[in-house]
């Protein structure tokens, strides 16, 4: 399912216009992004938790030359599914 299909599903399920559904979805995505940028977490009970993890700096190899390169550490978004989501999938 892509974003357009999700917007159509939201509009149909909530009996609202597609424009309203798109604004609602964009608002949720923006809220999750801005919270994660501030190192916060977003918990949707039954669905899951979005958080920020740390990736340590490490040494890698250039696949073309085989030379060692230094890869800097970074912050990465993480998602941990909730029990209800796990149960729905299984």
Q: What is residue 53's three-state secondary structure?
A: strand
- Between CA 90 and CA 81 the distance in angstroms is 12
Task: Return the CATH class of domain 41-90.
Answer: few secondary structures
Whole-number Å distance between alpha carbons of 50 and 71:
25
**SS3 for 56?**
coil
Per-residue pLDDT tens listing for the chain (90 residues): 999 999 999 999 999 999 999 999 999 999 999 999 999 999 999 999 999 999 999 999 999 999 999 999 999 999 999 999 999 999
| DSSP annotation of 46 | T
pTM above 0.85, yes or no: no
């Amino acid at each position: 399912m892509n974003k357009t299909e999700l917007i159509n599903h939201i509009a149909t399920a909530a009996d609202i216009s597609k424009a309203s559904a798109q604004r609602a979805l964009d608002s949720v995505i923006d809220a999750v992004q801005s919270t994660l940028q501030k190192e916060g977490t977003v918990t949707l009970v039954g669905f899951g938790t979005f958080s920020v993890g740390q990736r340590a700096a490490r040494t890698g190899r250039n696949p073309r030359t085989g030379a060692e390169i230094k890869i800097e550490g970074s912050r990465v978004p993480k998602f941990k599914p909730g029990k209800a989501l796990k149960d729905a999938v299984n």
